[in-house]
Amino acid sequence: MLNYDIVIIGGGPAGLGAAVEAYEKGVKNIVIIERDKYLGGILQQCIHNGFGLQEFKEELTGPEYAQRFIDKVEEYDINVMLETMVLEITPDRIVKAVNSKEGVFTIKAGAIILAMGCRERPRGAIMIPGTRPAGILTAGTAQRYVNMEGYLPGKEIVILGSGDVGLIMARRLTLEGAKVKAVVELMPYSSGLTRNIVQCLEDFNIPLLLSHTVIEIHGKDRVEGVTIAKVDENREPIMETAQYISCDTLILSVGLIPENELSQKAGIELDPITGGPIVNEMLETSVPGIFACGNVLQVHDLVDNVTAEARLAANSAIRFIREGEFGKSSIIVKAGNGIRYVVPQKINVDNIEKRIKFRMRPVNVYNNAMLVVKSGDKYLLRQKRQRLTPGEMVDVNLSKDILKNANFEEGIVFLVEEG
Amino acid sequence: MELKEITCIVCPLGCRIQVEMEGGEIKSVKGYSCSRGLEYAKNEVTMPKRTITTSVRAIGGHLPLLSVRTKEPVPKEKIQEIMLELAKVEVKAPVKIGDVVVKNILGTGVDIIATRNLYVK
């Protein structure tokens, strides 16, 4: 059996960030396991810019951002296993993996960092009625075709969902000569970043139809068109508003799901809202010594935040292999009115050095609202926020001193107060 | 007096910036939170610019395409012209990240650079 201090599962931005951080902090007996042929993960197909403003203070494309880390992995000669699939991890940190060279093999890990990322929600998950022709694909698949393989998946396109990848692809397909007829969004707001609405849709006069959805797909062998309709406040289609749009391709950008089959097999407890593991202030999952970071933990908007999270996971893993198990997390963190989820979901104040960052998403759009942290009836923090929207993750930093005022039994609650 | 409302696209904050114009001149800029945002807003009302990111054909590389971008933002109205010009470009592997693929594209003074390494197959 192989032996590593830290085994990192996934060679995308989270795994790369964790590996580089661990190495720089002196833990060198580590390995990154990646199922693809190359490191970098999904960044390699995100050829648009906007990455790295926080991390490198410059605006990079996805491949450029990835390469900064890949260069370090190569410089440090960190062990990388490519085209290797992890089959199973166990609660006592045995990793079983397979590749075509070694066959099936096992690794004993001092600590494990989960960095498997997420995958796209497919058509089946949103149950659009209609036929099943060719020409229906997720935004990420379309992105791979256009940016990596060199194929244009269609010429007349409708995009369902206004997630960031969908918006980016609206622009990309337009630049490559396709006609994007509309971006259709079920919710009354976009789930993408405002800057992407401006530079991907408004720049190219692509209509964004909010509170609309696709109610039927037409075509036998190939998509011929879709019927869309406005939806009411219960998100039920209003049939009188139905209209037909002819198109040869329907692209879905309807959400991302953290990829946690391995975590589940290891008995790691998942958060039903985030789809990622429940973690404490060290980003440790419910299984001691197994940590999570990046999109496998919660779907991020910005890779810079993934890198920051990966660093924390790496430092926690190092502390675990040096000092052993952390004390029990005694304060439960809850999402209250207006907040969909908060990560981490539990904390132990003793493990926090100075302050801790909580990441969360609101359930709705709020303007000039107060973001509030309470413990029982006591206010720990009230912060004015100009704009809160589900499409943009919210950060709240709390200092150890503030957290010491929390009532352990009541836990702490994040919520939005309007007006 | 004309008031233009802009959403900044420099970073994900998406600041809403108000620019007051009079006779084609900028009178005041409000709502930005960094110097890059101020510059973006000024450009946006006079000569809007964008960074173009796309790909060009690659020959003999480990991938059929090489991803590229304009090294600096270019005038927005040039986007289509530049895309058509890049449709004709082919590069041979190997290419290093940051290499200039097209110098001074269409006389804009801006180079097209590679955004990834391309290895020989």
Asked if A178 and A156 touch (Cβ cutoff 8 Å), the reply is yes
Chain B residues whose beta carbon lies within 8 Å of the beta carbon of residue A172: 54
| Whether residue B79 sits in one domain with residue B102 | yes
**Confidence check: pLDDT of B14 > 90:** no
Chain B: closest CA distance from residue A61 (Å): 7
Same domain, B38 and B76: no
DSSP per-residue letters across A17-77: HHHHHHHHTT---EEEE-SSSSSSGGGGG--SEEE-TTTTSS-EEHHHHHHHHHHHHHHHT
For residue A44, give both structure tokens.
């390699």
Res B109: pLDDT:
96
Residue B12, pLDDT > 80, answer no
- Angle formed by the axes of helices A62-76 and A13-24, to 10°? 30
Q: Is the pLDDT of residue B11 over 80?
A: no
Beta strands in A101-200 (DSSP E): 103-114, 118-120, 136-138, 156-160, 179-184
Q: Is B120 on the interface with A (CB under 8 A)?
A: no
CB A416 within 8 A of CB A337: yes
Average pLDDT over residues B80-99: 97
| Beta-strand runs (E) in A315-410 | 331-335, 339-343, 346-347, 355-362, 366-375, 378-388, 394-399
What is the domain extent for residue B71?
Answer: 51-112
Q: Say what the pLDDT of residue A387 is.
A: 85
B64/A195 CB distance under 8 A: no
Placement of tokens 């991890």 in the chain? A89
Backbone dihedral region of B56: left (phi > 0), alpha (psi from -120 to 50 degrees) or beta? beta
- B75 contacts on A by Cβ (under 8 Å): none
* pLDDT for residue A220: 95
Q: What CATH number does residue B78 fall under?
A: 3.10.530.10
Q: Give the residues across from A130 on adjacent strands.
A: A217
Within an 8 Å CB–CB cutoff, is residue B33 touching chain A?
Answer: no
> What CATH number does the domain containing B39 carry?
2.20.25
Whether residue B98 is predicted with pLDDT greater than 90 in this model: the reply is yes
Under a CB-based contact definition with an 8 Å cutoff, are residues A231 and A211 in contact? Answer: yes
**A325: burial class by Cβ within 10 Å (0-12, 13-18, 19+)?**
exposed
Mean pLDDT across chain B, nearest whole number?
93
Name the residue type at position A232.
D
Q: CA nearest B78 in A: which residue?
A: A175
How many domains is chain B partitioned into structurally?
2
> Smallest Cα–Cα separation from A395: which of A331, A282, A311, A308?
A308
Same domain for B55 and B30? no
Asked, for residue B61, whether it belongs to a domain, the answer is: yes
Instruction: Mark whether B31 and B58 lie in a shared domain.
Output: no
B9 touches A: beta carbon within 8 Å: yes
> Do B13 and B29 have their domain in common?
yes
Contact call for B64 and A193, based on CB within 8 A: no
Q: Which residues of A touch B79 (CB under 8 A)?
A: 175
d(C-alpha B41, C-alpha A295), whole Å: 33
Q: Is B67 on the interface with A (CB under 8 A)?
A: yes
B79 and B62 share a domain? yes
Structure tokens at A269: 């407890």
Q: Does residue B1 share a domain with residue B40?
A: yes
Q: B39 and B74: one domain?
A: no
Nearest-by-Cβ selection for A150 from B64, B83, B117: B64
pLDDT value of residue B33: 87
Residue ranges in chain A modelled with pLDDT below 70: none
> What pLDDT, on a 0 to 100 scale, did the predictor assign at position B23?
84
A301 interfacial to chain B (CB closer than 8 Å): yes
Angstrom CA distances, A272 to A27, A275, A276, stand at: 33, 5, 8
Residue B3 lies in a domain: yes
Neighboring chain A residues of B99 at a CB cutoff of 8 Å: none
Q: How far apart are CA B52 and CA A194, in angstroms?
A: 19
Using CA of residue A50, residue A202, residue A175, residue A390, what is the dihedral sign? Answer: positive
Which whole-number Å values give the CA distances from A325 to A27, A249, A284, in the listed order?
A: 18, 52, 10
Q: What percent of chain A has pLDDT over 90?
A: 89
Write down the H helix ranges in A330-416. 400-403
* B1 class by beta-carbon count within 10 Å (0-12 exposed, 13-18 middle, 19+ buried): exposed
> Could you give the strand order of the β-sheet that contains A355-362, starting from the edge strand earlier in sequence?
A339-343, A355-362, A394-399
Mean pLDDT of B24-36: 89
Whether B29 and B67 share a structural domain: no
CB contact under 8 A, A47 and B55: yes
Q: Assess whether B34 and B59 both reside in one domain.
A: no
What would the two tokens of residue A314 be? 């790496």
CA distance A222 to A214: 17
C-alpha A372/C-alpha A414 separation (Å) is 6
> Is B118 within the bounds of a domain?
no
